[in-house]
Amino acid sequence: MRIAIYYPWVYLTSGVERTILETVKRSKHDYTIFTNHFDIKNTFPEFKKIKLVELKKIPVRRNIIDTLKAAIVIIFQKIDLKNFDLLLVNSEGLGDLILVRNHNLPAVCFCHTPLRPVFDIEYKRRVYEKKNNYQKLIYHIFAFLFRFIDRYLWKKYKYIFFNSEETLKRAKVGGLIKGKKRKFEILHPGVDAKAIKPSWVYKPYFFLPGRIMWAKNIELAISSFKELKRRNPSLKSFKLIIAGRVDEKSKGYLAKLGSLSKNKLDIRFVINPSDYKMRKLYENCWAVISASFNEDWGVTVIEGNAFGKPSVCVNRGGLIESQINGKTGFLVELAVDKFADALAKIASDKNLVIKLGENARINSLKYDWNSFSQRLDNVLTKLG
């Protein structure tokens, strides 16, 4: 089968780009990627070897004005799909708009999340509280219109994959899958655990990997680490290393984090690290942490599991689906004191870390890219 993949932005090393890449690399089908924004310098270099068509450029900033500009371009663009058998939309919300003018082929959605400012209650609350009255009015109008349009467009999908229970819940609450009995399933993106060899080395630093952006709630990790050190002088050797990509729209957030960790030599940022550097940071860390307030799925902690590393995570969103409290690490409340308690517990007991790390490694084997690809291929073959 010849399958067209659409995703508005291929410009980061996020879980979406990784999922698209693994889908194409491991499939028996013939894929071409269509996108409105491609940046090979900041995404996975393997995209150079894949058939990719860049459409009319759209902005990547997610404020209301730029989001509207992007939405208008996507709504009115027509893609030449006459030589394809199926359209696979990788969607975080705006991707659904491609169906307005491109609906002659069978269309399948891989939903990484419905549009978060509209369908994720916690995300929406945090965005809303930062706006003035005029901005709140514009936001309400946009959310109302988008919700109405998106519900209509979702009826065009023949089948929908969700990356987690969390994203499925958002779609249900938002009225997106009403009437779609047995036309959707959860298919977790994974890791290449068999290609990762745990070092079983545990050096005294916590590792927070992934994109550096406000929704990752990294300030909670920094504040909790500072509280850990204040309470536990005996753990003075421990460090916190934060590593990941920073795109243009997140540079202000990075500056805020820099102010929060100012003059703290035990907190270090590694910006736009190479794959080799990330691997080494995973291999040698004590534990992997995620402070995201409502993660869609959360592949970074599963990658940590594959390296034999336990996790300390917030007990919300997709993180509670892949991590097992007390077995692969700790799931804790969204509060500095609770997070600091968990860090202290894991930092002060190496035997515990080794045991949790062994469990974590076994846990990671459940999330395998080959199984993911095989299931996706089988469903698409039946639908095409």
Q: Residue 110 corresponds to which tokens in the numbers above? A: 């891989």
pLDDT tens column, 212-235: 999 999 999 999 999 999 999 999
Rounded to whole angstroms, how far apart are CA atoms 9 and 321? 27
**Contact assessment for residue 166 and residue 317, using Cβ atoms and an 8 Å cutoff:** yes
**Strand extents, DSSP E, the chain:** 2-6, 9-10, 30-35, 37-38, 52-54, 86-91, 107-111, 157-162, 184-186, 205-209, 239-244, 267-271, 287-290, 311-314, 329-332
What does the pLDDT average to over 319-323? 98
pLDDT in the model for residue 131: 87
Position 332: which residue type?
A: V
What does the pLDDT average to over 97-110? 97
pLDDT tens column, 255-299: 999 999 999 999 999 999 999 999 999 999 999 999 999 999 999
pLDDT classification of 180: cutoffs 50, 70, 90: low
Cα 107 versus chain centre, distance? 23
- Measured CA distances, 45 to 12, 40, 303 (Å): 11, 6, 19
What does the pLDDT average to over 338-347? 99
Q: Residue 45 corresponds to which tokens in the numbers above? A: 């270099």
Whether residue 179 has pLDDT greater than 80:
no
pLDDT in the model for residue 384: 86
Rounded to whole angstroms, how far apart are CA atoms 319 and 312? 10
pLDDT tens column, 119-144: 999 999 998 888 899 989 998 999 99
Complete domains list, the chain, with CATH:
2-190+368-383 (3.40.50.2000), 193-364 (3.40.50.2000)
Query: How many beta carbons lie within 10 A of that of residue 195, not counting itself?
Result: 8
Rounded to whole angstroms, how far apart are CA atoms 129 and 127? 6
**Contact assessment for residue 321 and residue 164, using Cβ atoms and an 8 Å cutoff:** yes
